[in-house]
Homo-oligomer: A and B are copies of this chain.
Amino acid sequence: MKTVLYPERSGWEALCKRPGIKKSDLESAVKGIIDGVRKDGDDALLYYSEKYDGVKLDTLKVSVNEINEGVSQVSDGLRKAINIARSNIEKFHQAQLTEESPVETQKGVKCWRKSVPVEKVGLYIPGGSAPLFSTVLMLGIPAKIAGCSEIILCTPPDKNGKINPVILYTASIIGVKNIFKTGGAQAIAAMAYGTASIPAVYKIFGPGNQYVTKAKELIQQDGIPIDMPAGPSEVLIIADNSADPEFVAADLLSQAEHGADSQVVLVTDSKELPGKVNNAVERQLSELPRKDIAAKSLGNSMMIVLKTMDECMDLSNKYAPEHLIINTINSKELASGVMNAGSVFIGSYSCESAGDYASGTNHTLPQMALPGISAECLLKASRKRSHSRSLHRKASEI
């Protein structure tokens, strides 16, 4: 990883620029897919599944038998880990169900806000190199707690026309039963406009590749609400000399392996830390199953040395990371200065992987942390890093 020593403030803006993403012109291709689904419904979905997923399907809906078969294939160890994650996520989100008392703004005038569940929601779960069963928890549990009466889940099948068993297990334990074998832009179009098999929903949630994101943007312009368009994932770590370089390296790598377009950044006041972290990154990288992806992402990444911790926080606020890890001696105090970040992890045992899977906070944040988005914090995680890292591995290995 590239190290930048004591950059001038005038150069921070350039440092905070994300690696250029080739905005390939997907619009006409994705428009074509959406139009196809609106015109030909299920036939279009079956056609695209053959074209993009490489499988000729008979039906789109996952049958009860298929769900049962998938559920039976999940190991006890993974079931246990998923159940712990589920319990924590439920606790955290249940606490968000609050009711506001009316405010009497003047005599006889009572005003209040009331949250009402979206009746029909569509959840998109990517397939591909890492089936995101954790995202089933992150989207499905809040939908259940909110009281959404109809929950649809779309995810692409593999070449044998199967859905990953862990996705089926996770959906089944939270009570999501309407699962459809369709992915990409065509899945988004199906949930937006409905087909004979797939009911139209009122709002669509979930991450996805460039095609999925473009499809979500296009249906949003047509008046169907979405969560937010997703971009590449990223982490920024603020660390000082008290941080264990092995922990910092593991945290950088756990994000780098998300995708070749991810960016990971270390900001520190220690001139020694970058060298130690670099060594640890190289050693740990060689053991990673997704080392090719992580290595590419590290090419977009950097370690920045600044003079003080306050400067480190200023730079982080300017960068506005999706995930921020604060691994310093005074992490709690430093965290009070966070102005722009998505999910914040406070303390040397609070790693992003914990939030990605099991601490209870939600990982379906805006991929690019927008100013003013609620920061979610995790404090004093006493569980050992190794635990969350093993969970993380699970995701890559399935």
Residues of A within 8 A of B (CB): 84, 87-89, 91-92, 95-96, 100-103, 105-120, 146, 202-203, 217, 221, 223, 225, 338-340, 354, 359-361, 368, 370-372, 374-383
Asked whether A374 and B114 contact (CB < 8 A) given A109-B354, A109-B383, the answer is yes
A371 adjacent to B202 (CB under 8 Å): yes
Q: How far is the CA of A114 from the CA of B92 in the complex (A)?
A: 13
Q: Which residues from B are CB-within-8-Å of A113?
A: 96, 374-377
Across the interface, do B225 and A111 meet the contact criterion of CB distance under 8 Å?
no
Q: Which residue of A114, A202, A368, A370 has the most chain B CB atoms within 10 A of its CB atom? A: A114
Known interface pairs A87-B105, A108-B380, A119-B340; 9 further A-B residue pairs with C-beta atoms within 8 A, sorted by A's residue number:
A95-B100, A103-B360, A105-B360, A107-B382, A108-B381, A109-B354, A113-B377, A114-B376, A115-B374
B111 A84 Cβ-Cβ under 8 A = no
Residues in chain B near residue A375, CB distance under 8 A? 113-114, 116
- In the complex, chain B residues whose CB is within 8 Å of the CB of A106: 84, 87-88, 360, 383
**6 A-B residue pairs with CB within 8 Å:** A92-B105, A110-B380, A111-B361, A112-B376, A114-B374, A203-B372
CB distance from A12 to the nearest CB of B (A): 15
Closest to A85 in B: B105
Partner pick for A377 among B111, B370, B378, B381, CB 8 A cutoff: B111
B359 touches A109 (CB 8 A): yes
Q: State the Cβ distance, A28 to closest chain B Cβ, in Å.
A: 15
For the complex, what is the distance from the CA of A107 to the CA of B360, rounded to whole Å?
A: 12
Identity of the chain B residue whose Cβ is nearest the Cβ of A94 in the assembled complex: B103
Cβ distance A256 to chain B, nearest Cβ, rounded Å: 22
In the assembled complex, the Cα of A119 lies from the Cα of B102 at a distance in Å of 29
Complex Cα spacing A41 to B368, Å: 27
Residue of B89, B103, B120, B376 near A92 (CB, 8 A) is: B103
Point out the residues of chain B lying under 8 angstroms from A368, CB to CB. 223
Beta-carbon contact of A376 and B111 below 8 Å: yes
- A57 CA to B57 CA, complexed, in Å: 65
Nearest CB of chain B from residue A295's CB, rounded to whole Å: 27
Q: Which residues of B contact A120 (CB under 8 A)?
A: 371
Q: Is the CB of B383 within 8 A of A108?
A: yes
In the assembled complex, how far is the CB of residue A278 from the closest CB belonging to chain B, in whole angstroms?
A: 30
